[in-house]
Amino acid sequence: MGWKRPAPERHRLLQQHYVDSSTRGKYEALVVDMCSETRRVGSAPREESASRLCERIFRNLAKKCTRMMVLMFDCQDKMHESRSFLHLQRYPTLSAEGAAAAVARGKVIVDGRAFTPGSEPYPEEFVREVTADVPVVWTKMWASSAGKARAWELVREGIVVAVHKHAADTLECVVWHNGEPWVWPYDDAAARQQRAAELCNNTYGEGDQRVCEAAQVLAKWGTRSTLIQTIDTDMLIQVLCARAWHSQSVVDIQLKNELVDAVGMCKRFGPGWGERINAAFWLLASAGVDYCRGLGRFGYNTRELQENSLGCRSADGRVVTVCDTEIVVDTGLLTTALACIPRRNMKGMVVMDFAKEVGNILFCLALFCGASRKRMPCGGPKPVDVVCFEAAVHDSPFDASFLAAVASGDVECLCISHTDAN
CB–CB of 158/151 below 8 Å? no
Helices marked H in 231-374: 235-241, 262-269, 273-286, 302-307, 331-338, 351-369
Cβ-based neighbours of 85, under 8 Å, separated by 6 or more: none
Contact 132, 51 (CB under 8 A): yes
What pLDDT sits at residue 89?
64
The answer to whether 359 and 295 are in contact (CB under 8 A) is no
| Tens digit of each residue's pLDDT, the chain (422 residues) | 799 999 999 999 999 999 999 999 999 999 999 999 999 999 988 999 999 999 999 999 999 999 999 999 999 899 888 877 666 666 677 787 887 887 888 888 888 888 888 888 999 899 999 999 999 999 999 988 788 899 999 999 999 999 999 999 899 999 999 999 999 999 888 999 999 999 999 999 999 999 999 999 999 999 999 999 999 999 999 999 998 777 778 999 999 999 999 999 999 998 889 999 999 999 999 999 999 999 999 999 999 999 999 887 666 668 999 888 899 999 999 999 999 899 998 888 999 999 999 999 999 999 999 999 999 999 999 887 788 898 888 899 999 999 999 999 999 998 999 887 66
- Return the bridge partners of 113, or none: 110
pTM beyond 0.75: the answer is yes
Name the nearest CA neighbour of 171 among 51, 36, 63, 72.
63
Q: Is 189 left (phi over 0), alpha (psi -120 to 50) or beta?
A: alpha
Q: Are 272 and 266 in contact (CB under 8 A)?
A: no
Looking at residue 282, what is its pLDDT?
Answer: 96
Residue 144 near residue 56 (C-beta atoms within 8 A): no
The confidence score (pLDDT) of residue 183 equals: 97
Nearest Cα residue to 148 out of 158, 159, 160, 140: 140
- pLDDT at residue 421, rounded to an integer: 67
DSSP-H helix ranges across 144-188: 147-166
Q: What is the pLDDT of residue 91?
A: 64
Integer angstrom CA distances of residue 266 from 25, 89, 178, 306 = 22, 33, 32, 15
354 Cβ partners below 8 Å, 6+ apart?
295, 298, 388, 398
* Nearest CA-CA partner of 109 in 97, 123, 99: 99
Tell me if 18 sits within 8 A of 259, measured CB to CB: yes
Q: Which residues are 250's β-sheet partners?
A: 225
For the chain, the domains span 7-81+146-269, 82-128, 273-419
Q: Say what the pLDDT of residue 249 is.
A: 87
State the pLDDT at residue 132.
96
> Cis omega before residue 397 (within 30°)?
no
| DSSP summary character for residue 166 | H
DSSP 97-130: HHHHHHHHTT-EEETTEEE-TT-PPPPHHHHHH-
Q: Write down the pLDDT at residue 86.
A: 64
